[in-house]
Amino acid sequence: MQFTAQQIALLVSGTIEGSPETTVTSFGKIEEATAGQLSFLANPKYEEYLYSTKASLIIVNENLQLQKNITATLVRVKDAYSAFATLLTTYQNLKAQQKKGIETPSHIASSATLGTDVYIGAFAYIGEKVTIGNNTKIFPGVYIAENVRIGNNTTVHAGVKIYEDCVIGNDVIIHAGTVIGSDGFGFAPQPDGSYQKVPQIGNVIIEDQVEIGANTTIDRATMGSTIIKKGVKLDNLIQIAHNVEIGSQTVIAAQTGISGSTKLGQKIMIGGQAGIAGHLNIADGVKIAGGAGVTKNLDGEGKSYAGFPAEEAKQSLKTQVYTRQLPELEKRVKELEKLVAELVQKEPK
């Protein structure tokens, strides 16, 4: 694909500094880009490469002050990082639009309903009464069970498994290997020490504009629905248990686990490898540090939490400082004990 500086400036509402006819055909990191490539500069740490890069076109912040002459054409925007993300999305969408039609072999049940311009990859399985919206892409090896509904402009990458009765919205991206709607972890202890499985008869609802990373699992509800609300972004290797609700615009990093029936508010940020116990409520705007262990409700809207068990971030830092001092404190206590013992021995009988 080929774009001119003028076309790119129109896409990102930028102003051109240099030749509007500059042409690029691919993308490159600013420190590695070659002639004919488009790059961007958002982080000041990389500004030195602006003066040595071979890139033909560079997206920069509008307030950037040049320290030297450059050879590349610039497109100045309010936010270079967001503008570059917009361009990458446009590029990706153009590529995706090239995929249409149904590859063979694949299985599509006679009762399934497919929208216009749908792509079904080889070895995909589409079950009974499945509904797939317009411009949706189902890549090879995907399994979609009966009564699943998938909206418009959604992408389901290779090897994804979607169990029966689940609902996927519009403009959703589900990456390879993810499993949606597997049974929640429910077992009733029996008098003889065994466990009786509790049937999981609910489903999973994923609202619009959600992105789910590779090899993530989202369990179906015991009853009702596990719900991932609009605009949520999930990283790879995340476990979402049965009946969890995740509020809109929440972002969660890799290897996080959320136990059953916990409710997360809107615009929450969770770092990698965090663990959240079941039946809890997390307030809107909360930030949970990577590796934190949440064992109780977090009611402080907009507050930051860290550590195990999770507490407010400032207190967690103090706790870490005190913990590091324990060996020295132990040494001092032993010295004091020895001194007291010596004083006791010297006392007159």
Q: Are residues 108 and 87 in the same domain?
A: no
Q: Report DSSP letters for 256-284, one per residue.
A: -EE-TT-EE-SS-EE-TT-EE-SS-EE-T
Task: Say if residue 46 is in the same domain as residue 130.
Answer: no
pLDDT tier, 349 (very low <50, low <70, confident <90, very high otherwise): low
Q: Is the same domain home to 66 and 131?
A: no
Same domain, 92 and 226: no
Q: In DSSP terms, which residues pair with 219 in a beta bridge?
A: 182
Q: Which pLDDT band holds residue 263 (cuts at 50, 70, 90)? A: very high
Domain boundary among 67, 96, 125: 96
Q: 113: Cβ–Cβ under 8 A, 6 or more apart, which residues?
A: 130, 131, 132
Do both 150 and 85 map to the same domain? Answer: no
Within-domain flag for 324: no
The domain boundary residue, chosen from 40, 71, 96 = 96
Answer whether residue 79 is part of any domain: yes
- Judge whether 265 lies within some domain: yes
pLDDT digits (tens, 9 = 90+) for 288-321: 999 999 999 999 999 999 999 999 888 888 888 8
- Whether 108 maps to a domain, the answer reads yes
Residue 1 has pLDDT above 80, yes or no: no
Tokens 């002050």 belong to residue: 65
Question: Same domain for 92 and 117?
Answer: no
Same domain, 214 and 87: no
**CB-neighbour burial class of residue 118 (10 A; exposed 0-12, middle 13-18, buried 19+):** buried
Q: Which residues are catalytic?
A: 242
pLDDT in tens, 214-239: 999 999 999 999 999 999 999 999 99
CATH of the domain at 33: 3.40.1390.10
The pTM (predicted TM-score) of the whole model is 0.82
- pLDDT tens per residue, range 190-201: 999 999 999 999
Domain end among 96, 118, 139: 96
Residue 331 within any structural domain of the chain: no
d(CA 322, CA 90) in angstroms, rounded, equals: 51
Report the pLDDT averaged over residues 78-96: 86
Give yes or no: residues 74 and 7 share one domain. Answer: yes
The pLDDT assigned to 248 comes to 98
Confidence at residue 348, expressed as pLDDT on a 0 to 100 scale: 73
Quick check: is 340 in a domain? no
In this structure, are 82 and 122 located in the same domain? no
Instruction: Verify that 77 and 108 share a domain, yes or no.
Output: no
* 175 in the same domain as 84: no
CATH of the domain at 218: 2.160.10.10
pLDDT at 281 over 90: yes
Domain range enclosing 132: 101-312
Same domain, 41 and 148: no
- Picking from 219, 146, 148, the residue whose alpha carbon sits closest to that of residue 180 is 219
* Biggest CA pair distance of the chain: 102
Structural domain tally of the chain? 2
| Domain-located, residue 63 | yes
pLDDT at residue 97 is higher than 90? no
pLDDT in tens, 166-192: 999 999 999 999 999 999 999 999 999
| In a domain? residue 294 | yes
